Amino acid sequence: MDGRAGDGMIDRLGLGAASIGNLYREVAEHDAEAVLTAAWDEGVRYYDTAPHYGLGLSERRLGRFLRAKPRDAFRVSTKVGRLLVPNPGARGGTDEANGFVVPDDLTRVYDPSESGVRRSLDTSLERLGLDRVDTLFLHDPDVYDLDEGLRLGLPALAALREEGVVSQIGIGVNSAAAAARAVREGDLDVVMIAGRYTLLEQPALDELLPLCQERGVRVVAVAVFNSGLLASADPARAHYNYGEVPAELLARTERLRQVCSRFGVALPAAAIQYPLRHRAVDTVVVGTARASALRENIRHLQTPVPDDLWAALRDEGLLP
């Protein structure tokens, strides 16, 4: 590890657009535009989205915002592996079972095949109103069928990169083991790992991060607050892996908070900076639908964190 994280470099921060896809709650159009405007005004130039996020709502909202911006001034990533198709069982309900408060007129169909990947990218570009995305991720193949996802999806992504359709390819998962397998079996440029290399837990240290460092694969750390647990003023009301927070993690979070407070550092500041201390981690991506929270996250990124804090967390057995 090195000490780069506290330098306030805004180009190491990306905005995750799941929240503006109505993750957990309905977000008004003006609020979605406000958080995107705040990010742009603060200098954020990397935006991550996916068809999964709000059944396309996230991509549409992000696309409307970016259409007025110079294309070479920003980077966008989206994801493939889930096709959106008309929902034959739609009865005027919502997609809240999958975490998004949007009409359930569409449904997700797993399709990591080459034709499915190309079709997914084409429809994403339509929703975004862009002629290209910079990075394309295979999204959550371990949720469905990891063997099939890697066997079909990785070559499909590589073909798009070879054709110059996308610049970089990668995998986006919650499982460090699945990500490590994809790095071993594919020719990836980047890995997006959610929640597995955070101040709260570090399973990505076992194999994934050393492997990425060895092979020159960039790592984008997302869900660095573990679905809000490390950033919430009331952790008992936060989420963990999109569900309730186990009691032992609540207790660990409180111990982390107490150590940080001894050094006058807010827990979210330590949480957003910790992943960037590893040489393999290039970027952190945070998601919010509130402009005020986005600005606060930037302040946390720029907060000086003394080396003694990291040492204290190790001494307490809270960090490896």
| Beta-carbon count within 10 A of 252 CB | 16
C-alpha to C-alpha distance for 193 and 175, rounded to whole angstroms: 7
C-alpha to C-alpha distance for 266 and 277, rounded to whole angstroms: 17
Burial class (CB in 10 A: 0-12, 13-18, 19+), 32: buried
Active-site annotation holds for 53: yes
For residue 74, the cross-strand partners are none
Among 174, 203, 148, which residue's Cα sits nearest to residue 52? 174
User: How many angstroms from the chain centroid is the CA of residue 107?
Assistant: 22
Per-residue 3-state assignment (H helix, E strand, C coil) for 26-41: CCCHHHHHHHHHHHHH
C-alpha to C-alpha distance for 82 and 116, rounded to whole angstroms: 8
Phi then psi for residue 271, to 5 deg, are -65, -40
C-alpha to C-alpha distance for 255 and 200, rounded to whole angstroms: 10
What DSSP element (H or E) covers 303? Answer: none
Contact 7, 301 (CB under 8 A): no
Summary count for the chain: helices (H), strands (E) = 12, 10
Q: Catalytic pick from 47, 53, 240, 274?
A: 53
Show which residues are catalytic: 53
